[in-house]
Amino acid sequence: QKIVIKVNINCQICKTEVLKAVTKLTEVYIVSVDGEKGMLTIVGDVDPVLVVRDLKKIGKVPEIISVGPPKPPEYCEEFKFRECRPCPPSCKEC
């Protein structure tokens, strides 16, 4: 699931503390921090309450913005499977 949390991030030290607190949790796959907007995005099978608890332990005041499934990945046309012609026989018996 994808969790978006608003957290006050003033400097690089705050950003590092937030990342350390969140990455200690199990089942966290992706963590991204937008310092300008003050948004923390987490993708993984983690309870949002645990994330908020750990952020409060380091002195932050988190606010859950959204919790939901992550966006499905968008695939390019070139990565889709194409039907190809059959391979030529490689031996006389084929």
pLDDT per residue as tens digits for the range 23-77? 898 889 999 998 889 899 999 999 999 999 999 999 999 999 999 886 676 665 5
Model confidence at 11, in pLDDT bands (50, 70, 90)? confident
DSSP H stretches of helix in the chain: 12-23, 48-57
Least Cα distance to 5 among 46, 89, 75 occurs for: 46
Whole-number Å distance between alpha carbons of 94 and 90: 7
Question: So what's the pLDDT on residue 75?
Answer: 61
What's the whole-number mean pLDDT along residues 72-90? 63
Looking at domain 2-79, which CATH architecture does it have?
A: 2-Layer Sandwich (3.30)
Would you say residue 6 has pLDDT above 90? Answer: yes
Sequence-distant (≥ 6) Cβ neighbours of residue 44 within 8 angstroms: 1, 25, 27, 28, 29, 30
Phi-psi group of 44: left, alpha or beta (phi > 0 → left; psi -120 to 50 → alpha; rest → beta): left
Band the pLDDT of 81: cuts 50, 70, 90: low
